[in-house]
Amino acid sequence: MGSETTATNSSQALHCWETGGAASAKALTAWVSERLAEHEQALAALLAVAGARTPQNSLTLYDRAIEQLSLAAAQAGILNSVAADKAVRDQAQLEAQRVAMAASALSLNRQVYEALTAIDLEDASPATRHYVERTLLSYRLAGVDKDEATRARLQSLHEKATRLSLEFGRNIQEGAKTIEATPVELAGLPEDFIARHPAHKNAQSEMRVTLTTDPPEMQPVMTFASSAALRERMFAAYNTRAYPANRQILLDLLATRQKIARVLGFRSWADLATADQMMGSAANARAFLAKLDAASRVSASREYELVLSFARTREPQLAEIDQTGRGYWYEQFRRSRFDFDSQSVRPYFPYARVEAGVLATAAKLFKVEFRPVQVEAWDKAVSVYDVFDGGQLAGRFYLDMHPREGKDKWFSASPIVCGVRGRVLPEAALICNFSGGEAGDPGLLQYSDVVTFFHEFGHLMHAILGGQTEWVGLSGFATEGDFVEVPSQMLEEFFRDEKLLQSFARHYETGEILPSELIQNLRQASAFGRADWVRSQLYYTTLSLDLHDREADGLDPDTLARDLYREFQPWSWFEGNRMYASFGHLTGYSSNYYTYMFDKVIALDFFSQFDAADLLGGETGARYRKTVLEQGGSKPGRTLVREFLGRDEEFAAFEHWVNEEFETRL
């Protein structure tokens, strides 16, 4: 990408895979060690500064230290998720732990804190002021003002929490299971799915089909399989992937976090984790959840009764619908009520066309250009694109989009290089698990997969367009954690637009454009169930909050998960469900899973500012890019909201989205 993208020391590789780190555990360790050595050298230079401290002579050195730490953390994290060689994945986990220990030590380094406190900010830019003020707050929340013994204890606790979090995530990543099905049990599944899963003889010479819990196989089974027994086996396998190992790991992690919070003077981890967020406190989070509860309860109940009544017309003996039947019966109801079979749109969404459509839409909306490039990455399956803005190279992204052995099984966006204006260009990656990627498989996606693709691409564009800031610590989506899902969820709404869908959705065999009538049915059908979706998110959100907002001693995650489910969901609980053991967001967002719903409210308010008749036209996209995405973390999230909307977010767009269209959807 040119000389502008060199690391602090131009003789060292910017990417660990350039030195063999994706294929060799030893090479990865050597690369991370170089990053940590550069980190330490920058801190030593910071502490050696004599005389008055300025952003130029002090914050620059601190930011260089953060740059090296960020590089090491991002790329060790990537290889922990995607490396083909298990030995490299194992080493990447150890390297990620080593980097986290360095970050913990930095957060408790009183000399560095005092150096940053002494910086003269009188003539500094607003972004620089915000960076220093936010950094100093994070130091105080880490306990930098405690005595030496307390700081040592906090560092030990943070290191333990990091190790437990990594173990929790690895167990999910490598916990994939398989189940067997008879050929008859595949009834209802798409023909291309059945064709890709031929039957074989098992040890008893019985014909069986092997299915994995990877999303491209799990989701179709839970949505289309008419066999309740098959759905139950898949559900049980998927929701016990990391059980029982992660049960005790989670309990140990919760106890460790609670100790950290108490040492720092907080009632609970939930209060500590929200102290520097837009939400502000666990109490504010609970007040927000109460609004979600009130906004969704009635409509969700009506949705369930409609689906249950319909199901009883097919199976009169059915007393209730449990978790394993939810997706299936929603699909059957939508086919009947809205004349929409979600399988009918899959042929219009082959993976290659969807990728092209997402890129074309983002290019038009954000006025950028994407050009494929042939460069080294961590796996041959990865495709790479350079981003051009006004003819100038602005960044790079990597797409690792299909499942493979040992790879993380979820969908996420990750930074690779944090950009700095005029010095380093930003890079980011999507790590996904969509269908396709093998010869002869067109990778037919469900409509929900298309929405997921653009959701994750929203994160990626935030990382690239927000990666032109003056400091690494403000680069990309370095906003408050509870603002980071706004850009991604806002972009989801674009793919409900007929004109936009027809710009790329063509039948993979005939080339036919996705018909308007089918799109209208799709929109009605996909809108039905929104209240139920909110209740599901409310369940996950309350579970994450409750796990971190009460005493860890004596906590039973099985009982809590079941009881909260029964409080928020009408579908009966499936005994044996251990979903908390594979709820990966418990390590990332911890107590703050409310982020998704909080940001959904903001995102829908943002989306309402666009012209529904011409989403990609007008000036709103450019204004959104300038006032939100390009800012990265240079301003508080509350300021970003006010500068785009001209006010704080309002709940009206969300309530309309959930409820006011309910009758029209029927």
**Residue in the structure block whose two tokens are 């067997």:** 180
CB 303 within 8 A of CB 663: no
Percentage of the chain lying above the pLDDT 90 cut: 91
pLDDT exceeds cutoff 50 at 315: yes
pLDDT for the residue numbered 663 = 54
Instruction: Say whether 388 sits in a helix, a strand or coil.
Output: strand
- What's the whole-model pTM score? 0.94
**Of 408, 403, 381, nearest to 174 (Cα)?**
408
**Residue in the structure block whose two tokens are 């990417």:** 15
pLDDT for the residue numbered 618 = 85
pLDDT tens digits, residue range 570-598? Answer: 999 999 999 999 999 999 999 999 999 99
pLDDT for the residue numbered 2 = 43
CA distance 138 to 432: 31
What angle separates helix 60-82 from helix 110-117, to the nearest 10 degrees?
130
608, β-bridge pairs = none
The pLDDT of 168-173, averaged and rounded, is: 94
Max CA-CA distance within the chain? 83
Indicate the domain borders of the chain: 3-107+109-142, 178-238, 347-527
pLDDT exceeds cutoff 60 at 357: yes
pLDDT tens digits, residue range 413-462? Answer: 999 999 999 999 999 999 999 999 998 899 999 999 999 999 999 999 99
The full DSSP string for 592-626 is -TTHHHHHHHHHHHHHTTS-TT-TTSSSHHHHHHH
Characterize the bridge pairing of strands 392-400 and 427-431: parallel
Percentage of the chain lying above the pLDDT 70 cut: 97
Instruction: Say whether 583 sits in a helix, a strand or coil.
Output: coil
The pLDDT of 58-68, averaged and rounded, is: 98
CA distance 652 to 656: 6
pLDDT for the residue numbered 666 = 55
pLDDT exceeds cutoff 80 at 197: yes
pLDDT for the residue numbered 408 = 87
Instruction: Say whether 77 sits in a helix, a strand or coil.
Output: helix
Architecture of domain 347-527: 3-Layer(aba) Sandwich (3.40)
CATH code of the region 3-107+109-142:
1.20.1050.40
pLDDT band at 10 (very low <50, low <70, confident <90, very high): very low
Q: E-assigned strands of 63-217?
A: 178-181, 200-201, 207-212
pLDDT for the residue numbered 9 = 37
**Residue in the structure block whose two tokens are 């001209």:** 646
The pLDDT of 96-115, averaged and rounded, is: 97
CA distance 420 to 71: 13
pLDDT tens digits, residue range 316-336? Answer: 999 999 999 999 999 999 999
pLDDT exceeds cutoff 60 at 251: yes
pLDDT band at 661 (very low <50, low <70, confident <90, very high): low
Environment class of residue 646 by beta-carbon count within 10 Å: exposed (0-12), middle (13-18) or buried (19+)?
exposed
pLDDT for the residue numbered 3 = 38
pLDDT tens digits, residue range 29-43? Answer: 999 999 999 999 999
Handedness of CA 129, 132, 136, 137 (dihedral sign): positive
The pLDDT of 629-635, averaged and rounded, is: 97
What angle separates helix 620-627 from helix 351-366, to the nearest 10 degrees?
80
Characterize the bridge pairing of strands 427-431 and 412-417: antiparallel
pLDDT exceeds cutoff 90 at 351: yes
CA distance 354 to 451: 10
pLDDT exceeds cutoff 60 at 174: yes
Instruction: Say whether 568 sits in a helix, a strand or coil.
Output: helix
pLDDT band at 662 (very low <50, low <70, confident <90, very high): low
The pLDDT of 637-642, averaged and rounded, is: 98
CB 470 within 8 A of CB 409: no
pLDDT for the residue numbered 204 = 84
pLDDT for the residue numbered 6 = 37
- Judged by phi (left if over 0) then psi (alpha if -120 to 50, else beta), residue 395 lies in left
From residue 206, how far is each of 183, 196, 199 by CA, in Å? 10, 19, 9
pLDDT tens digits, residue range 289-303? Answer: 999 999 999 999 999
**Residue in the structure block whose two tokens are 């680069």:** 475
pLDDT band at 8 (very low <50, low <70, confident <90, very high): very low
CB 324 within 8 A of CB 421: no
pLDDT band at 7 (very low <50, low <70, confident <90, very high): very low
State the chain's mean pLDDT as an integer.
94
